[in-house]
Chains A and B, each alone.
Chain A
């Protein structure tokens, strides 16, 4: 579908639109302005390839839907933010280098000093600062709170030593936000602080990691006597863990969104037709199960969206969405390989058709049950914090 390249009149207050009108408004603008060659990228794009979209959103004032208007955001309600995300996904829009937008910005708005707000937020909006997130470490993955990268006071600086890993797109970033240990004596969650560090500080080395997609999405980042001015500490010393945790709610509902499974199921149907098994009753029953699982996931997800709409905060039970969505995504892509015959061994899409990318989706689905807190950790959370089972 092609939409005329016109910008529809912008309503004063997007929050005042009803959900459907808002959805259509956003949809029309995306369809008219999104670079067509970037639709449904098979792999996560680097900054050099996605910045055109970052700047388009920035120019429109739509880069930061969740930020309050006073800081240059759209000030959208959570339910409108979800609609916006759904529309971006529907059109197959690329993710940008969005760690500053999604993670750091909200944290600075909530916990940063006035000076930090004035300095950092505008530079995210203009794309001058591209951020990456330094949380995980080689020995602190699922057990993040045991992280050991340390920051030691030295005059008006902290000196940082240690190593981060799984740092998404660190090679594209010019700033990193870090969780560092500032008190080794305290209980492990209570000795962690939150630091902002320019990537060009002497002592920082970035090494890309090639993942199973054969893509250099992640990096290792090494810190060797890296000197960070004290004014780059956000919030109070040793309170970094609580601040980082307070902002995880949105991530968990995001990871539970049915988008990945819905996209994969569409791919499964196309693949089944291509392979000539679509009409087979055995396949139809398998497909029906997956489709019903997806429909019920959508209903379940809707329950949480409705909670956000009523202004409620999400509890630990939102972990159930993440578990079910990511495992459904995997079951769908498992089924793709099973029906694909020898194509299940291809490195690229079948017959070069990007819509028949069985192995690509299968590989992409693997880390979904690991990142954002592995599904084993999520099940521990449900058992302990939802069901009240003892340790």
Chain B
């Protein structure tokens, strides 16, 4: 648990409100999508200056203890921030950067790389994934690392490698690395990295446990980002329903559309309750199976509900929703990338059934 998790409910609500307000620096409420559109399908797919700004605002190290140069705040704050950034579709790789910072802060003796990551000076993702739809870290010494988010902007890679019973961490420079980049639907990219551990520097002996924890937090933070995507795209749709006229009436007066909107609103309510209660459980110290169950519940919900909402956003807009010029598609494409990142709904449902003790809630 973070050392500075605020104690009382009221302090907590205030702290979360302040984080939400501060998010406006990058993703102003009611802001347009001009910046997001300009960065789409470019290299590196995000604005390094904005990543630096996120570092200066303390966001990358939000969860990192103050003793290691972070802000030492809770998952409640982290999720609130991610939600605001999701509403603004911010393409900067805050979640992978925070993942790197959390791992390095817990294990590395040399703080130099950590400090640069925390400041947003460099993007140094952890190259942990070896196959699609997994949260396992096998740490194979020779398997390519896949689906590295926004890898085109990476300055170096942190590579977990199994050594006997432990997972060591190596720092591999981008320079000279065998890195293949693929574009993603949202205008960003995924990298596939072939390892060259000869050029890598060993920075920690055993990151196994801390990486599991940090991946869970990344999954939950991604669920919160998706919640923001859902909220904003639903707002866009509500506005449209209230203004678009057909048959001489505002289309939002049609009961078929009203009932569909009501059902989407229920999914938004469930997703928010799921994400916020999971964050609260982690902040209250949930560990092991209880932590995994809470995270999986929220990510499964956010993955499915975000796809449902963003698909319906297209449908409820009709033809205009299918144009690239209109923003509806931006939210759908973002959900397509994030719904399965850090585990699909199917993976998380399966994990929930494994980890959640049945009947314990009764």
Contacts and interface: CB of A to CB of B under 8 A. Distances in A.
Contacts of B269: 300, 303, 317, 320
B297 A387 contact: no
**Interface residue SS majority, chain B:** helix
Contacts, number: 101
Interface string B335-362: 0000000000010011011001011011
A297 B270 contact: yes
Interface in B306-362: 346, 349-350, 352-353, 356, 358-359, 361-362
Contact of A262 (B262, B265, B362): B362
A386 B265 contact: yes
A380 B258 contact: yes
Contacts of B353: 284, 287-288, 291
Given A288-B350, A390-B242, A324 B266 contact: yes
Interface in A308-323: 317, 320, 323
A390 B252 contact: yes
Contacts of B266: 320, 323-324, 382
B241 interface: yes
Given A288-B353, A389-B253, A390-B242, A383 B262 contact: yes
B16 interface: no
B349 A323 contact: no
Kindly state the interface size class of chain A when it binds its partner: 35 or more
B124 interface: no
A383 to B, nearest CB: 3
A376 B259 contact: yes
Name which of A299, A300, A389 has the most chain B CB atoms within 10 A of its CB.
Answer: A299
A387 B265 contact: yes
A390 B277 contact: no
B262 A379 contact: yes
Nearest to A263: B362
A95 interface: no
A289 B272 CA distance: 17
A324 B270 contact: yes
A297 B274 CA distance: 8
B301 A90 contact: no
A384 B250 CA distance: 13
Interface string A308-342: 00000000010010011000000000000000000
A5 interface: no
A185 interface: no
B273 A387 contact: no
A292 interface: yes
A380 B350 CA distance: 36
Contacts of A276: none
A143 interface: no
A327 B255 CA distance: 19
Contacts of B263: 379
Contacts of A376: 259
A389 B241 contact: yes
Nearest to A289: B349
Contact of B258 (A288, A320, A384): A384
Contact of A388 (B242, B276, B300, B352): B242
Contacts of B346: 285
Contacts of A298: 361
B277 A299 contact: yes
A353 interface: no
A379 B259 contact: yes
B36 interface: no
Contacts of B259: 376, 379-380, 383
B238 interface: yes
Contacts of B238: 387-389
A292 B300 contact: yes
Nearest to A262: B362
B269 to A, nearest CB: 5
B250 A390 contact: yes
B150 to A, nearest CB: 30
A288 B349 contact: yes
A68 B281 CA distance: 35
Contacts of B300: 292
A296 interface: yes
Contacts of A320: 262, 265-266, 269
29 contacts: A262-B362, A266-B359, A269-B358, A285-B350, A288-B349, A291-B356, A292-B297, A292-B349, A295-B274, A295-B356, A296-B273, A299-B273, A300-B269, A300-B270, A300-B273, A300-B274, A302-B273, A302-B277, A303-B276, A320-B262, A320-B269, A324-B270, A379-B262, A383-B261, A384-B258, A389-B238, A389-B242, A389-B261, A390-B242
Interface of A: 90, 262, 266, 269, 284-285, 287-289, 291-293, 295-300, 302-303, 317, 320, 323-324, 376, 378-380, 382-384, 386-391
The 5 closest A-B pairs by CB, nearest first: A383-B258, A299-B273, A382-B262, A300-B273, A299-B277
